[in-house]
Structure 1
């Protein structure tokens, strides 16, 4: 059984069925909605439509490449439904989720049940828990009773999306940062006065109210802070974050090669929008997660040059995310220490990011299938990004555990110290992919020698 058809659950169900093992996939939508989802499709992307950097010498890109080599359905489908996003892997949300839903609905070994799973299944049932950070109240309560933990959560937020036809392209311009790839982003430049007026409006705008039980524990995930929280942290915090102008140049400002002149002429701050769909009709505001009331979002965000008449297809939302105290509870195989036939995958394990959720789904699904087939479970080497993430969440110091995105700091040090960052990351990548190949070849030889 796989509970939850998000990114992790979709991947887990596919890996189980691909191993020849029948699987029941349980998804509560549309019978019961979550605070962040908008559809009943599998693997719906509720925040950004981007899986992060595509290049394999970046942490997110390396994780994607490892998953490609491991036969991930979710990543291969993302490749098929990608949209222009500079150096990132971004997808057409609707087509992407619909394609994954269709594949699983038509797989002969996958049975789909649209209902809420209220409790953990019996201990003898091989189960992948992939309910994500928005686990329903009843199941979350049962999980708290099972684990004895009730203190792991943070608040996450999603960015607004606007109708591309309502963006004023006489004010905005197309470009990618440092001209990497094609001009895939729409950029809205601000001068100093516009930036400070915008920040002032953000600081005074009215926020949506948290529920009473949430107010005393409103901890944000640092990797996905609401834009108004960034504004509160200092005059220039946004300019060193999602509004940084570095590397963005509008050709209408003049064809200048002198670096000092370009620095003097560039915008004071730039708001970027990334394409949401294949046809380029929908655009999301990069880094603009927010908890402002919807009316306030419309008022304040229309202060951005080029968005004065923007029509909002979706407003930003904030929601409470639950995660496990993984170092106490999980093995590197993603099995629960106290119940080995129960596995966890995705953001509920304390990994952060879409590709990391898919990685957890791959490993949990693979190991669930191996349990069903009477084979030993596997863990991947910590020199790979997938292995580094799963070893981190299972071995991190307990008590101060917080969600972790993929990053090269998780990997063991290289045998040779390399000062140049690009070469160092390339060396991490080469070692990771070589060790992943060795690990999979070794496992295949063991499986052939000792069939179930």
Structure 2
């Protein structure tokens, strides 16, 4: 089974354009899973057979993670890695069924939302004149004590007092694959469009691009023309396809990445050359899509 793992990691690197960090994370999680499955079967990891990777092995693995004190979020991440590996094995014909589909994802811990205390709110309201400064977009998981230490390294902030520290927030978004088409239209109500963070898009450029596409398609509908999406080989077209076709059970917001673009039929081995080839193809096919719209008398972006 270790050979299949090596092939899978190579698949992630070459076909999914995964970063070295992502590949290492998959390697770590899957090595842990295979090691657990081997221990349960009384075997070495290299001796594992597909039959040892069933639902029971997955449930046992999750149980072991729980005993180790891992958070539900961490366990869910490891389970997602295992599921991706098992789906790969099924596509390659190594296993017949996908046991990962039969195991429920651990529910995330429900935490109370962070909020200002009454004293903190009073301070803010009493100081609207301007002696408080806010770092826009300061999202971080750095511990508060470390944030204070790092920020006080900035010249002029050595004696700064902090009313509130940075933290990570999660956006509210619809489950795109269940409700949205590639044109960001609601499938059951085509005159209604979603865009940006609400649709599961990350990033300012991506949000603006999806909104621009919505505007173009709304204008097309107003003139009796059908809505259309750029090809999946383009950046915004790939994101539109992801938003409308990702796995609904594991849908997460995404930026535009080379990894969600339609793979090249003959991809260069060099990552730089692959990305350059993907970019060149995207520009060419976006221009062709724009020309098609222009020929129909529609606006182009």
Q: TM (normalized to structure 1)?
A: 0.34
Higher strand proportion: 1
Please identify the structure whose Cα radius of gyration is greater.
2
TM-score, length basis structure 2: 0.49
State the structure with bigger RCO (CA 8 A, min sep 6), 1 or 2.
1
